[in-house]
Structure 1
């Protein structure tokens, strides 16, 4: 009896113990699901830049339609919770900034990693639908 039949057991423990690699959903699949979710909430969204289908980093720009944009990017690598699920940080200290500032930031990201995706939403309320996937205190 290895404890797997007991309530509350952590089946992922056995996978980690066996040395199985953590797997994350392919970026293209995650993007498609995110686009559908935004569309279901009537938030206009489009792919501003298409990156690597398997593992490209994703940045989410929320245009508040007042000349400002909130930008969300991938959480730093190495955090335990980022191994299988995408986590996010609010960039620019969590404050909306001008479009030009976001464009400069993203251009630097593209120079560093040409496989980056950029998703652009338009929402006056600033909704991003990332919920509790944002890690506070970063950016």
Structure 2
């Protein structure tokens, strides 16, 4: 059985930022994490005072199957900035090697492959 190597977080992030720009939105890496395997969080700023937060779906959600690409799940929707900041601070205490990218997209497009956390 051959397992394909997963791309590094740094490589994935670089490709993701390019994709966001190609789609006509703006992206900025707010925090650089571990180059090899840092967890990735994405903030989608709707430019109306609210934002959505996405995190990588936990590997335990896939059982023996390993997805080909990173999958994400929305963990906060239309959140106010103070609430979003508290959540990010909490995540940073748990994992100081995480990546954080923020995109500006009025309609809330995340450009991520997502799963429904209720189906985990």
* TM-score w.r.t. length of structure 1: 0.77
Mark the structure with the bigger radius of gyration: 1
Identify the residue that residue 75 of structure 1 maps to in structure 2. Answer: 57
Gaps of 5+ in 1: 1-13, 16-20
Aligned to 1:29: 11
Secondary structure of the residue aligned to 2:59 is coil
Where structure 2 has 5 or more consecutive residues not aligned to the other structure, the ranges are none
Task: Measure, in 1, the Cα distance between the counterparts of 2:36 and 2:50.
Answer: 31
TM-score between the two structures when normalised by the length of structure 2:
0.89
Give the superposition deviation at 1:31: 0.4
Runs of 4+ in 1 over 6 A off after TM superposition: none
Comparing both chains, which one has the higher relative contact order based on Cα–Cα distances under 8 Å and sequence gaps of 6 or more?
A: 2
Counterpart secondary structure, 1:48: strand
Shift in alpha-carbon separation, 1:55–1:97, aligned structure 2, 3 A: same
CA contact (8 A) 1:24 1:83 kept: no
Distance 1:78-1:84 versus aligned 2 partners, 3 A rule: farther
RMSD: 1.7
Matches within 5 A, 1:1-40: 14-15=1-2, 22-40=4-22
Instruction: Give the corresponding residue for 1:5.
Output: none
Matched residues, number = 117
Looking at structure 2, the residues matched to 98 and 51 of structure 1 have their Cα atoms a distance apart, in angstroms, of 24
